[in-house]
Amino acid sequence: MQDLTISLVQVSIEWENPEANRARFEKLIQAHDMPSDVFILPEMFTTGFSMNDSVVEKFSESAPTVLWMKRLAKEKNSAICGSIILEENGERMNRFVWVDSEQVVTYDKRHLFGYGSEHKYFKSGIDRVIIDYKGWRILPQICYDLRFPVFSRNSWQDDQAEYDLMIYSANWPDARIHAWDALGLARAIENQSYVALVNRIGTDGSELNYVGHSALVDANGTYSISPIHESEGIFTEVISYEKLMRFRERFPLLKDADGFQLK
């Protein structure tokens, strides 16, 4: 199985300005001269953490941001992913969108941030989603999902783990950044999975401050990319499928995990 090159895209998002944000991300990604298999963008990367009806896009594969992602993925020969505000069948969702050369895959945020009234504006997702990409199995998650380990619990099925890489796309404020750091490590260790965490920087329209701390963690809880404090840019590292398999074989904790049914 081939290695996977992961790029974490950490920026300050312009409040409720999709066109400007798409242009900014595109400039950074196009200028990134290191080949990458996956570019990961933050949560609500076109708007910031907004509840404004005026920045909601109708979901389809021809929605402005989805079309932009498809074009950029083709030009860079990579996957592009992150969450955006989308409406479908009269309901608004905080939706993670994954686009590569062969597929568009979506995941709707399961755990809406009640403390920030997100549940009043968006419909909660129900299903876990596993993305198949270049032989890797990838679990997308969004921000507040990080606090709920049962929903992301890895399992051992048919002599393999359910997934190999977990992605968290977030707008996680500075006031609780210690929890972001600690829980990111915990999710990697307990699930024997790589974990990629992408957060924004800057200040949003609600005057919340963000310091980033985007990071990449291996299955043993060791940083491949240590938390990046406030710096803007694209941060790239290669993850090894062979290394992951060797670690799981030497220390097969997933085989000993408790079975359960999620409701």
The residue range of the domain holding 138 is 4-251
Of 109, 118, 123, 237, catalytic: 109
Evaluate whether residue 262 is within a structural domain. no
Instruction: Name the amino acid, one letter, at 101.
Output: S
Evaluate whether residue 211 is within a structural domain. yes
Of 16, 43, 118, 237, catalytic: 43
Return the pLDDT at 173: 98
Return the pLDDT at 259: 81
Q: Count the domains in the chain.
A: 1
70 is catalytic: no
Evaluate whether residue 75 is within a structural domain. yes
Evaluate whether residue 100 is within a structural domain. yes
Of 76, 118, 143, 237, catalytic: 143
Evaluate whether residue 210 is within a structural domain. yes
Q: What is the DSSP letter of 185?
A: H
Return the pLDDT at 242: 97
What CATH code is carried by the domain that includes residue 57?
A: 3.60.110.10
Question: What are the phi and psi torsion angles at 97 (to 5°)?
Answer: -120, 125
Evaluate whether residue 257 is within a structural domain. no
Return the pLDDT at 165: 98
Evaluate whether residue 207 is within a structural domain. yes
- Dihedral angle, C-alpha 111, 114, 119, 125, nearest 10 °: 0
Return the pLDDT at 181: 98
Evaluate whether residue 221 is within a structural domain. yes
Of 85, 76, 77, 81, nearest in space to 104 by CA: 81
Return the pLDDT at 261: 78
* Mean pLDDT, contiguous 10-residue spans, the chain (263 residues): 94 97 98 96 97 91 94 97 96 97 97 93 96 98 97 92 98 98 98 98 96 98 98 98 97 89 76
Whether this model's pTM surpasses 0.95 = yes
